[in-house]
Structure 1
Amino acid sequence: MQIPQRSVDHGRRAIVVGSGPNGLTSAALLARAGWQVDVYERNAHPGGAAASAATLGPGTIVDLGAAGHPFGVASPVFRDLDLTSHGLEWVHAEVPMAHPLPHGEAAILHRDVETTAQGLGPDAGRWRSIHGHVTEHIDEHLENLLGPMLRVPPHPFRLARFGPVAAAPASWVANAAFSTEAARTLFLGSAAHAIVPLTMPFTGAFGMLFGALGMSRGWPVVRGGTGQLVKALLSVLHTHGGRVHLNHEVTNLAELPAADAIILNLTPAQVLRVTGTTDEAGSQLAHPTRRRLRGWRYGTAAYKVDFLLDGPIPWTNPAVAGAGTVHVVGGSQELIRAEA
């Protein structure tokens, strides 16, 4: 996204509907730029699923919807907002990710390309070739990929280097580029975070990017739980005069005060509901936009189960114990089938 300039512009008003991390980030940026910002949230707490609670008993901290935060720690916007000065602290494990394999073997994603490659035997060179450039220039790649789709990318040369492998299905890249199960599972395990079948085009991009994030910025968690990330965003928002209205469900945009900009941090179905779904003149969305929103098909959800352990997990390979994220799924073909 394009970050608003910090010059104060009194009189401009923005309304944000939904206080998930994206909505709060937009609100914080606009408030810092001098806008009057109001956020409306139907629940009793802000943040949506970016919340933490003691669901496993007193003294426990359980993230309700989050896992690791590779995009969070590398986010250009979070860095620009200086969330660490508002209480946010990232916590890194010894290694970002591990993938146990049969017979006590394991594939390990380290915090740098070279150490990771050295553990992949004959696939070391191919691993460096695919990930080296992206990892070395991760900030420029993120600026290319996280901005608006319809624009000239700020770093076109970097994007061109990203392209060939990125356009291919992750399953094809894994089988064509690598000869070992360790390299295949590391690549596919990163790509699986796209939460779409690994046989789909462009899932190779997720494999490259998620792996590169781990080898450059890591896959950390938030100290104190992901709810602390929301608190940091709220701190920025409140510092610059923004307001959050909890227990306030917006059922139609017509009920909102006049504003220069309205930002909807909602799902397609919710957007249709608050804007009106008919072709009547009073509807707030153009017909082509409504048609696209009606055609949206939700994919398979990610399911989360939390366990309270009474001791360390006795991994067959002790190197797995140092990983913040462990993919327990078997080999590469099992992973492809599981994500189909």
Structure 2
Amino acid sequence: MAESVDAVVIGSGPNGLVAANVLADAGWSVLVLENADEPGGAVRTAEITAPGFRNDLCSAFYPLGIASPVIAELGLEQYGLRWRHAPEVLAHVFPDDRAVLLSRDLDTTVRSLETFAPEDGDAWRAEYAKWQRIRDHLLNAVTRPFPPVRAATGLVRTLGTAEMLRFVRMATLPVRRLGVETFAGEGARVLLAGNAMHTDLGPDSSGSAVFGWLLSMLGQDVGFPVPEGGASSLIDALIARLKARGGHVECGRLVTKVLLADGRAMGVQDRQGGRVRATRAVLASVPAPMLYRELVGVEHLPARLVSDLDKFEWDDATVKVDWALSGPIPWTAPEARQAGTVHLGADVDGLAGISNDLACGRVPRNPFLLLGQMTTADPSRSPAGTEAAWAYTHVPRGKLLTDGSLRRRADRIEQAIEKHAPGFTSLIQARAITGPHDLAELNFSLNGGAINQGTAAIHQELIFRPIPGMARADTPIDRLFLAGASAHPGGAVHGAAGANAARAALAREKWTGGAYRAMTHSINRLLYGSD
């Protein structure tokens, strides 16, 4: 006899676990099924370099995690989560070893920016004052179901119509243009552009401004914190909270099919043929192409939806190197020594060149590096006097990288760091190299090494994410909800996609079945011309 629960959640990453917790809070029985042997998805920690060094396997710093109202509402501190901060937030090191510093102390950030242009201190204060005025409304707009009517209304009331129009314009700009319009010096401009590069958007990509501005303001406000003990501590807290409410997580169970009947999701089937009945909902924290093509099957979907899926665009692939270091990185730039996050390798023009290489399918010769100094942020990550560090860089999607080419890429990354921190390579006790294929093996959702489950470009955001008209968690299949990062609002560890899916499932319960199905039928006809 098949197992039976109110809801099955596919995937135990942060979105899946947030969804499960929201449903459990409503009194639902919830089972989370995870393919890997341990939970967490792209939020995991292990000793992959040397004993005593705890390296985060994928994501590491969580400005949106600590700021997310979704995660804040869960009260995870009651379940062991503790946030730790490096002395400084972020340093961007220029090719000539000048550096600009982002600090949680506003005066410290301002002093750094003013070394590049005296007037930029006041300009940064003005941007931060704007952020403080709209912070809560904007974070609610980002993390709540689409369309965020209440949050948008709050933004308009706070800013006024004229300033709201200017803010919307800013959100559509390339980050280079935002920097030119707002700041006089290279320091502030490269902070914005470097933070935009946390997505797959370069300085001249439309829409990159809002990502660079948001991460910069978050860094100024809440920093780039890390969970004490490793990224897995966030997952441990989510699971502990879920178990306290009667939910369960089972690892080593790969879901291969969503079971359908009469246009409804009725449960799931795993690789061994085991079935779980879901009496209320199935929530899938997997990329949209995987859900629709592999778990549902295109024969159950409108032809136009399948055609739109063909246009789904993934973000760039990623190569990551983790190190066990015998001491702190000996940066030439003093600003980098106390920063948890370091951007390295280019000014704004250099970032644009790197982005162009990637767009043209070329591996950049001089990579832009996003580097984490984890022991600097959290001393529990490695033995006293040492450093657990990592760096990642992007490579073109689909580029064939052999073990040999990955080693050469890792060597190139180390050479780039050595240039700005003489003696770095002599500190390396051990390293672990993770290529795009390895990332996909670690977590099926990181398809081809794409860490954001789809491009952050403006043509695949908001009402266009993951495909046109599908910004909400509801799918064309009744009782099936998309809960992963390829849904609005996209990548980063904030739990919003999972919470949105859970809220959609709860909202469906408030409708009579016939009324909800009539609404779904109307939406499907509007978007796809059929059910």
Q: Deviations over 1:284-337 (max 9, x none)?
A: x44443333332121212321112212222212222211000001121211222
Whether contact under 8 Å (2:14, 2:43) holds in the other structure is: yes
Asked if residue 270 in structure 1 is aligned to residue 294 in structure 2, the reply is no
Q: Deviations over 1:245-301 (max 9, x none)?
A: 2211111111341331211100123112000112xxxx2x44443333332121212
Whether contact under 8 Å (2:99, 2:336) holds in the other structure is: yes
Asked if residue 214 in structure 1 is aligned to residue 235 in structure 2, the reply is no
State which drifts further: 156-165 or 243-252.
Answer: 156-165
Counterparts of 2:223 and 2:340 in 1: how far apart (Å)? 10
AA aligned opposite 1:277:
V
User: Residue 245 of structure 1: SS of its match in structure 2?
Assistant: strand
Shift of 1:222: 1.3
Counterparts of 1:163 and 1:71 in 2: how far apart (Å)? 21
Shift of 1:136: 4.9
Whether contact under 8 Å (1:19, 1:41) holds in the other structure is: yes
Give the aligned partner of residue 58 of structure 1. Answer: 51
Asked if residue 320 in structure 1 is aligned to residue 336 in structure 2, the reply is yes
Aligned counterpart for 1:141 among listed residues 119, 123, 138: 138
Instruction: Classify 1:44/1:265 alpha carbon distance in 2 versus 1 (closer, same or farther; 3 Å).
Output: same
- Superposition pairs of residues 104-253 of structure 1, within 5 angstroms: 104-121=97-114, 122-154=119-151, 155-157=154-156, 158=158, 160=164, 162-253=167-258
- Superposition pairs of residues 78-117 of structure 1, within 5 angstroms: 78-117=71-110
Give the aligned partner of residue 65 of structure 2. Answer: 72
How many residue pairs match? The answer is: 325
Give the aligned partner of residue 303 of structure 1. Answer: 319
Instruction: Classify 1:277/1:94 alpha carbon distance in 2 versus 1 (closer, same or farther; 3 Å).
Output: same
AA aligned opposite 1:156:
L
AA aligned opposite 2:129:
G
Counterparts of 1:318 and 1:13 in 2: how far apart (Å)? 55
Counterparts of 2:322 and 2:176 in 1: how far apart (Å)? 29
Instruction: Classify 1:133/1:108 alpha carbon distance in 2 versus 1 (closer, same or farther; 3 Å).
Output: same
Shift of 1:12: 8.1
Aligned counterpart for 1:19 among listed residues 2, 12, 17: 12
User: Residue 321 of structure 2: SS of its match in structure 1?
Assistant: coil
Counterparts of 1:93 and 1:136 in 2: how far apart (Å)? 26
Counterparts of 1:40 and 1:21 in 2: how far apart (Å)? 13
TM-score normalized with structure 2 length: 0.58
Q: Deviations over 1:102-142 (max 9, x none)?
A: 55421000114443223222222222233331145423321
Give the aligned partner of residue 259 of structure 1. Answer: 279
Counterparts of 1:22 and 1:141 in 2: how far apart (Å)? 20
Whether contact under 8 Å (1:69, 1:221) holds in the other structure is: yes
Shift of 1:194: 1.9
Give ranges in structure 2 of 5+ residues lacking alignment: 260-268, 270-275, 357-531
AA aligned opposite 1:232:
A
User: Residue 257 of structure 1: SS of its match in structure 2?
Assistant: strand
Counterparts of 1:169 and 1:210 in 2: how far apart (Å)? 15
Query: Which structure ranks higher in relative contact order (CA pairs < 8 Å, sequence separation ≥ 6)?
Result: 1
Whether contact under 8 Å (1:15, 1:259) holds in the other structure is: no
Counterparts of 1:227 and 1:208 in 2: how far apart (Å)? 28
Counterparts of 1:287 and 1:240 in 2: how far apart (Å)? 41
Aligned counterpart for 2:310 among listed residues 291, 294, 306: 294
AA aligned opposite 1:228:
S
User: Residue 194 of structure 1: SS of its match in structure 2?
Assistant: coil
Structure 1 segments of 4+ aligned residues over 6 angstroms from their partners: none
AA aligned opposite 2:308:
R
Give ranges in structure 1 of 5+ residues lacking alignment: 1-10
AA aligned opposite 1:259:
T
Q: Deviations over 1:43-79 (max 9, x none)?
A: 1111112111000121110100012111111111111
Identity of aligned pairs, percent? 35
Whether contact under 8 Å (2:5, 2:278) holds in the other structure is: no
Whether contact under 8 Å (1:131, 1:211) holds in the other structure is: no
Instruction: Classify 1:140/1:12 alpha carbon distance in 2 versus 1 (closer, same or farther; 3 Å).
Output: farther
RMSD after superposition: 2.0
Shift of 1:227: 0.8
Give the aligned partner of residue 349 of structure 2. Answer: 333
Counterparts of 1:152 and 1:69 in 2: how far apart (Å)? 26
State which drifts further: 89-98 or 297-306.
Answer: 297-306
Q: Deviations over 1:64-97 (max 9, x none)?
A: 0012111111111111100111011111011110
Whether contact under 8 Å (2:89, 2:340) holds in the other structure is: yes
State which drifts further: 139-148 or 86-95.
Answer: 139-148
State which drifts further: 53-62 or 245-254.
Answer: 245-254
Q: Deviations over 1:3-58 (max 9, x none)?
A: xxxxxxxx981211111110111101111221111111111111112111000121
